Structure 1
Amino acid sequence: MKSILKTAFIIGLTLFSVASFAQNKMQNLDELINTTDPAWPLVQKWLDSAKNKVQVLECDTAMAKNALYNAQLSTYATLGAVIYHTGGIMIDNGWLRILGSGSAKLSRSVPEWNKGKSIKEYGDQPEFYLVADDAIGGFFAINYGAFGTDLKSVYYLAPNSLKWESLGLGYTEFLRFCLDGDLSDFYKGLRWSTWDQFIANLDGNKSYSFKPYLWTEAGMDINKVSRKLVPTEELYQFNLTKQRELNPAGVIEKH
């Protein structure tokens, strides 16, 4: 009887330890909200002086707390500050969407958008982390090992190559580029002549799909292809499927 009780006790203790570890793996909000040196005041200055057209989407307090907790990021970090203080940021009338904690116009929060893509469950350590996308099906992600040894660099899944291209920027530098950089040059060849007439009222959860595909020779001229609005989720999955078809060896394509 003693041995049975001892075994039961050990099993119970083990289960308790596993449960405790699972619970302790996630930091609570008090640990994540940095009150001594938060990044937001500096981010706010960058937003206020931005050269490009910027719309900071309204932030819902409950959604912001939930998103920050699920992302497990400190507000000391720029990305944590963007999640906690914005529902997202629209650049150039929404051509470029920087994810935050979600809003009516851009309902995808950073952790929610990554679940099922870069992570299985909240609290998982990702190999990459999706943080922004654009109206033409391009996606931006922070590299945590999936794309190479340049950890924390932002990569762009370009719709005209279906390859992850390193921008050579960390997230903070990427954000500043979105606010002040030459986006016309970055998107050279990827904006049709009347693009700005279509973007202002675009739902942040939709993106344009093109035919012929932009990565084909027939789709090289953006002004000569047809375009169709589709859910951004659908386009992301489609692009990954096509990327695998073009690269059956399974190696992540990148520049």
Structure 2
Amino acid sequence: MAESAWDEIIECVGAAPYPVQVLPADPSRARECLARLEISERSWLGAVTLNSGGLTIDHGWLRVLGSGTDLQTDVVSASKPEQGLVLVAYDVLGGHFTWTAAEPGAPPTIHYFALDTLEYEDLERGYADWLHAMLSGAMTEFYSSLRWTGWEAESAAARLDQGIHVFPPPSTVEGKDLNHVSRDVIPLKELLEFNSGIEI
């Protein structure tokens, strides 16, 4: 087995159909995060944590957590690894992805807190399968109902510690079409707490 999954990940990054940025990692912080997760860099989650501060995908729309940067939290800080709950990514609208078991004893899968339903959806994919899909073009369909004309520029302009608050929200009838809602850039911390009560 390969010593690290990072080469596989970088290959997917290079072939992605939309922009992907690998955020630089601080080596000591990265090693500490990996140790706290108690996983190896042979896994995709471990490789992302050890080798990057995180990834931004598709004009900064999706922020995949790694060992953190000055503007983006690390994968451990908002997670509870000892309880099997790991926050692995969030998007510019404040939706987020966790890696957790659907029930005790089951293998962990990625769950998405969807802004149009305000509920967690089990995507029934492991971390590697999920990230591979996101890097390979799945985001376009996954987010098709949550985008508007010109979203690329607005998403790219938001800093990593910022998100876009939309009102009325997508969970309402009035907020289904994001071309016709108000959109404001606010601190991501506030956006995540407002949408789902999660703290980073």
Q: Same fold (TM over 0.5)?
A: yes
Aligned to 1:56: 22
Count of aligned pairs between the two proteins: 197
Q: Does 1:125 align with 2:100?
A: no
Q: What is the alpha-carbon distance in structure 2 between the residues aligned to residue 168 and residue 130 of structure 1?
A: 16
Q: Which runs of at least 4 in structure 1 moved beyond 6 Å after TM superposition?
A: none
Amino acid at match of 2:181: V
- SS of 2:90's equivalent? strand
Structure 1 equivalent of residue 95 of structure 2:
138
Contact 2:59 2:153 in 1 (8 A): no
Q: What residue number does 1:197 align with?
A: 153
Matched residues in 1 for 2:158 and 2:39: separation? Answer: 29
| 8 Å Cα contact 2:23-2:54 kept in structure 1 | yes
For 1:12-161, what aligned pairs fall within 5 Å after superposition?
A: 37-104=3-70, 106-114=71-79, 119=80, 124-145=81-102, 151-161=107-117
Q: Does structure 2 conserve the Cα–Cα contact (< 8 Å) formed by 1:128 and 1:145?
A: no
**1:164 corresponds to:** 120
Greater helix content: 1
Unaligned segments of structure 1, at least 5 residues: 1-34, 242-255
Using the size of structure 1 for normalisation, the TM-score is 0.71
Larger Rg: 1
Deviations 1:40-69 (A, max 9, x none): 222222222223321111112122122222
Structure having the higher strand fraction is 2
For residues 155-191 of structure 1, give each alpha carbon's deviation from its aligned partner in whole angstroms, at most 9, with x where no partner exists: 1101111111122211001111111123221111211
CA-based RMSD of the aligned residues comes to: 2.1
Q: Answer yes or no: is the 8 Å Cα contact 1:90–1:96 preserved in 2.
A: yes
SS state at 1:185 partner:
helix
Shift of 1:150: 5.3
Which residue matches 1:222?
Answer: 178
After TM superposition, the score normalised by the length of structure 2 is 0.89
Pair 1:209-2:165 in alignment: yes
Structure with greater contact order relative to length (CA < 8 Å, sep ≥ 6):
2
Instruction: Indicate conservation of the 8 Å contact 2:30/2:51, yes or no.
Output: yes
Structure 2 unmatched runs, 5+: none
State the SS of the aligned residue for 1:110.
Answer: coil
